[in-house]
Amino acid sequence: MTALSNWGRWGADDEIGTANFVTPETIVQAARLVKKGQVLSLAIPLNPRTPTDPSRPPMQHFVRSARLRVADHGWGGDSEFADDWISMSPQTGTQWDGLCHAFREGRIYNGYDAGQAINPHVGARKCSIDRLATYFVTRGVLLDIAKHKGLGNLPGGFAITPRDLEEAAAAQGVEVRRGDALLIRTGWLAFWNRATAKERESFYDLAPGLGMSAAEWLHAREVACIGVDNVAVEVKPAEDGKSMLPLHPVLIRDLGLTLGELFWLEDLAKACAEDRSYEFLFVSQPLRISGGLGSPINPLAIR
């Protein structure tokens, strides 16, 4: 896997990795894909029940109603305001994993020293999520692997290979190009929605997702980012039966590829199948969290 690397490709000071594949021309062409004025949200609802990795506490949401007396406003009543605040890991629900989120051998993307780049007080000094504030606006492509296999959802532990990606693209009549946001549907989130309590116990440990061999394919296609409807983009358990998230460091650290997790792709998959068109304008910016390692997002597919 060491052969797969984008370190230095966009300069020694680069902090955005494969987002560099999105050019002004890519954006202009992607905007031309809007034909119907249809906007689909690819996010799942964010609330205390939203799935998050068990290493993170669930989101907490507090609401406060504040009464404000306005003596002479002339309408004969008090004005009232409500506001709220939340406590959560930014990597809850539909999210971008920043390029500082996964590392190995003390190095993050582009070779930055992890010890210096990630500070417990100020967050990431390199490759923080806010560096991607104007990304990603680009062409989106959906590959519906579950549909291609004739299944409502791929089974837990199913490792998606380059062949699966190629075959789905050919069947759908779509080509994956440089600078694309590649969305991959496994059907796993929809399965989770209808799962029994027993089945939900294994939601985080068992999932279909990308196998290791997909890394080389993604590198060759030069996609800007990927979004998958599972917890961790990659298959769980790992193909070797023992590693923990082995694809994360290859994609995030070596390629500088921003990963999107827990994408809601059901509505988009239906719309694309009806129109037999699997390309659209994709828009999904992270919050500008200074030094953030990831961000919740509400990705949009605009058709």
Residues 209-238 touching ligand UVW, rule: CB under 6 A, are 231-232
Closest alpha carbon to 207 in 260, 261, 256:
261
Burial bucket for residue 67 (CB in 10 Å: 0-12, 13-18, 19+): exposed
Distance CA 299, CA 189 (A): 16
CA torsion through residues 123, 179, 139, 53, sign = negative
> Is there binding between residue 124 and ligand UVW (CB under 6 A)?
no
Q: Left (φ > 0), alpha (ψ -120 to 50) or beta: where does 44 sit? A: beta
C-beta closer to ligand UVW: residue 2 or 55: 55
> Is there binding between residue 184 and ligand UVW (CB under 6 A)?
no
Which of 13, 24, 28, 55 binds ligand UVW (CB under 6 A)? It is: 55
C-beta closer to ligand UVW: residue 55 or 196: 55
- Nearest-CB residue to ligand UVW? 232
One-letter amino acid for residue 213 of the chain: S
CB of 92 to ligand UVW, least distance (A): 9
Tokens matching residue 165: 């990606």
C-beta closer to ligand UVW: residue 100 or 181: 100
Residues 260-299 touching ligand UVW, rule: CB under 6 A, are 261
- Cα 84 → chain centroid: 26
> Is there binding between residue 146 and ligand UVW (CB under 6 A)?
no
C-beta closer to ligand UVW: residue 99 or 174: 99
CB of 209 to ligand UVW, least distance (A): 10
Burial bucket for residue 161 (CB in 10 Å: 0-12, 13-18, 19+): middle
Cis peptide before 136 (omega within 30 of 0): yes
CA torsion through residues 246, 251, 252, 255, sign = positive
Give, to the nearest 10 degrees, the angle between helix 214-221 and helix 162-172: 50
Which of 15, 97, 229, 279 binds ligand UVW (CB under 6 A)? It is: 97
> Is there binding between residue 53 and ligand UVW (CB under 6 A)?
yes
> Is there binding between residue 166 and ligand UVW (CB under 6 A)?
no
C-beta closer to ligand UVW: residue 53 or 201: 53
> Is there binding between residue 91 and ligand UVW (CB under 6 A)?
yes
> Is there binding between residue 65 and ligand UVW (CB under 6 A)?
no
| Residues of the shown chain interacting with ligand UVW in the complex, contacts defined by CB under 6 A | 53, 55, 91, 97, 231-232, 248, 261
